[in-house]
Amino acid sequence: MGVTDPAGPVMDRDEVDRALARLGQEHEAIETSLLALQDHAGRRLLEGAELTGVTHERWQATEAQITQLWTYFDAYTAALRGAREIRARRRWSSREDLAELTELLRGASVTVPGGGTGRLSETFSLSALVDRMNELYATSLDMIVAADAVWSALPARIDLLAAELQRTRSLAHSVGVRPGEHPAGDDLERITRTLAKLREDVVRDPLAFWVPAEGSSAPGGGRPDTTVYDRQARALEDVRREIDAVLTVRQDAEARLIRLRDVLSRADRTLAEARTARGEVLAKIAATEVPVVSGPPTALQEQLATAAEYRRQAQWHRLSPLLESLEEKAEDELLRARESLTAVTAPLAVRAELRGRLDAYKAKVARHGLAEDPLLVERYDAARRMLWSAPCDLRVAEQAVLRYQQAAAELLGGGGTAEDGQGDHKGDAS
């Protein structure tokens, strides 16, 4: 063990045998890995594909690496074979054999032509050569696994989405949703083009759709990038909902049209009632501003007729948005008609409230035995004549009722004011 050389102390026979055993195991493991890499489905697909972009560039580099891997492995195999032959010369190896084996097993004794570094050859020790092969193997496998993962995930999903797209297109055509005629039809055309291009890009350049995992050193660490696919899937789902809405219109269009006619009819009747009430107010109430009542909007009736025509012609894609718009406008029209009626009849409501207040106070003073009081009788008759005559001046009539309330309050409470009388009346009414 005293003899040394550049490889270090000369190994003894046991060390040589252990090193050869270990190297033999490494050789088997490397060979198995290289054969598995050679037989990998992703590698075969890459060899037969028309690649573009980043995948094309990386596959060219990976192919060169795999070729170099086999060159390294052949050199490793030859060196191991040579070491085994030297060890097999004698049962008890001589010192010269052990020195030679030490150089082979530990020294930079393996010369490999080329090597991808621009040099004619490279020299390695067996351990350094194993490290180099492991490095090339990992980067080659990473590229192959990544491409295979994208090919295994995205094209199948794209095909499933394309099949669903085709079913949606057929359903859309059945309800008249076509490109150029309905936004959903245009969306279907755009999704179709996008999916076709996406599939072509995925097949030709899978690594463009690969997101490496941060901090991961394992081959194939990462995931396929499904951003474009997911966006189209969401867009198709939106279109499906639109088609479902159109189908719903086809199923309940008649009922919705009937409800629309009923709402518009109620609005027309309410407006007619408001016009009649306006004439009554103008005849019965004096000195009052009464708002003008407009007629029913003809545009809504025209749109309703258009909707009915769309239904007869089975133009469901046009009927759907029109019905939604009409339903909103019809409810607004009914609300407007009711507000017009309320505004027009407000003076009559005020007169009715004054009449009720006057009679309530008359009943109250009667309960206290004051119904025949001359002042109360006089003021009651004056207020009643104003409220039950036409036209009625509400402002004058209200003052007459207040005077009656004031007189009643004074007799009942000993000098109360008209305001007190109003509060007392509200208490009775409650």
Answer yes or no: are the C-beta atoms of 403 and 410 closer than 8 Å.
Answer: no
CA distance 355 to 398: 10
Q: Is the pLDDT of residue 130 over 70?
A: yes
Helix ranges (H only) for 49-125 are: 53-87, 95-106
Mean pLDDT over the full length of the chain: 84
93 pLDDT band, cuts 50/70/90, is low
29 pLDDT band, cuts 50/70/90, is very high
Residues 6+ apart with CB under 8 A from 271: 293, 294, 295, 296, 337, 340, 341
Which pLDDT value is given to residue 206? 95
β partners of residue 212: 222
224 pLDDT band, cuts 50/70/90, is very high
Q: Is the pLDDT of residue 428 over 50?
A: no
Residues 6+ apart with CB under 8 A from 348: 277, 280, 281, 284, 285
CA distance 420 to 418: 5
421 pLDDT band, cuts 50/70/90, is very low
- Which of 181-185, 213-217, 256-260, 405-409 is the least confident region? 213-217
Q: Is the pLDDT of residue 184 over 50?
A: yes
Q: Is the pLDDT of residue 358 over 80?
A: yes
Task: Using CA atoms of 366, 367, 369, 373 in order, give the dihedral in degrees to the nearest 10.
Answer: -30
